[in-house]
Amino acid sequence: MSELELSAPPGAVTPSGVAPPAAGPSPRDDMPAGPNGHATGHGVSALRRELLVRLRRDGPSSPDRLAAELGASRTGVLQQLRALEAAHLVRRETVRHGVGRPRHVYDVTESAQVLFPTAYDGLATGLLAAVRSVGGENLVEEVFEARRRMTTDRVRARLADRLPNGSSLLDRARELAVIQDEQGYLAEAVLGADGVIRILEHNCAIHRVATDNEAACRAELALFREVLGVEVQRETHIARGDRCCTYRLGDPPS
């Protein structure tokens, strides 16, 4: 992800699986500009983003120091730190020094890590390129097939745990869509007016990998067929330029 996910609605589940902090009171819009040239009217999300980046880079800091470095009011900074603390994205520590009053400093928590940019997509693409250079396209196919087998076992166990024996195809499709949605695919299962059940994936969570490696999409199609026990046809395909991936679920294979 290229920027911190702090603009989603409070409590919403983001693709990374972490809910952003609830919105708190906005800092004043008439704050004077700071020495670093920060905008005077920090939006809530912008200020939280800057606080998290500053803490991640510089380590534990006091509200006074953060306010001075960001050119924001101490009150506004403290409000957002408390909101981030409530969301478990920062923690507060008490530091004693000499005989004076102890001071509070804030630092990011491990939970905040998912909000920072990652290079997993590039890493996966690079690893697959390395696999291809070692064993050619056949080895890449074997890698995706091995991953499909492991995923199939996990999904089957989930379906068995969540659904009673003899569940309808629609119920199984809905649970599979939930699993895919948890992985960032923005998935849903729908029963169309034509009586056909479809699984829609409005996002490709491995888009760069999928566009460079057709084996990834073939493995997903095989996974759906195997865990649902029916013929599955892909009608639309994000990797081919469509808006979403659509899977039509048919009758059990004869």
pLDDT in tens, 175-192: 999 999 999 999 999 999
What was the pLDDT predicted at 45?
A: 81
Query: Does residue 4 belong to any structural domain of this protein?
Result: yes
Query: Does residue 254 belong to any structural domain of this protein?
Result: no
Buried b or exposed e, range 171-199, using 16+ CB within 10 angstroms: ebbbbbbebbbeebbbbbbeeeeeeebbb
Query: Does residue 156 belong to any structural domain of this protein?
Result: yes
What was the pLDDT predicted at 247?
A: 98
Residues 148 and 241 in one domain: yes
Residues 94 and 134 in one domain: no
Domain that holds residue 94: 1-118
**Domain-terminating residue out of 63, 97, 118:** 118
Interacting residues of 35 by C-beta distance below 8 A, sequence separation 6+: 68, 71
CATH code of the domain containing 160: 3.30.1380.20
Query: Does residue 140 belong to any structural domain of this protein?
Result: yes
Query: What digits encode the pLDDT tens for the residues 4-53?
Result: 434 333 333 333 333 333 333 333 333 333 333 333 344 568 899 999 99
Helix %, strand %, coil % of the chain (to 5): 50, 15, 40
Residues 59 and 128 in one domain: no
Residues 139 and 178 in one domain: yes
Extract the tokens encoding 193: 């007016």
Amino acid at the residue 124: A
Q: Which residues does residue 188 pair with via DSSP β-bridges, in sequence order?
A: 200
Residues 164 and 188 in one domain: yes
Q: pTM score, two decimals?
A: 0.60
Query: Does residue 218 belong to any structural domain of this protein?
Result: yes
Residues 32 and 89 in one domain: yes
Residues 210 and 241 in one domain: yes
**Domain-terminating residue out of 118, 151, 172:** 118
Residues 137 and 243 in one domain: yes
Query: Does residue 153 belong to any structural domain of this protein?
Result: yes
Residues 182 and 198 in one domain: yes
The total number of structural domains in the chain stands at: 2
Extract the tokens encoding 160: 């068995």
Query: What digits encode the pLDDT tens for the residues 119-135?
Result: 777 888 899 999 999 99
- CA distance linking residue 119 with residue 112, whole number of Å: 16
Cα angle for residues 117, 62, 24 (degrees, 5° grid): 65
What was the pLDDT predicted at 8?
A: 37
- What's the rounded mean pLDDT across residues 122-149? 93
Residues 22 and 70 in one domain: yes
Residues 208 and 230 in one domain: yes
**Domain-terminating residue out of 88, 118, 148:** 118
Query: Does residue 23 belong to any structural domain of this protein?
Result: yes
Residues 14 and 92 in one domain: yes
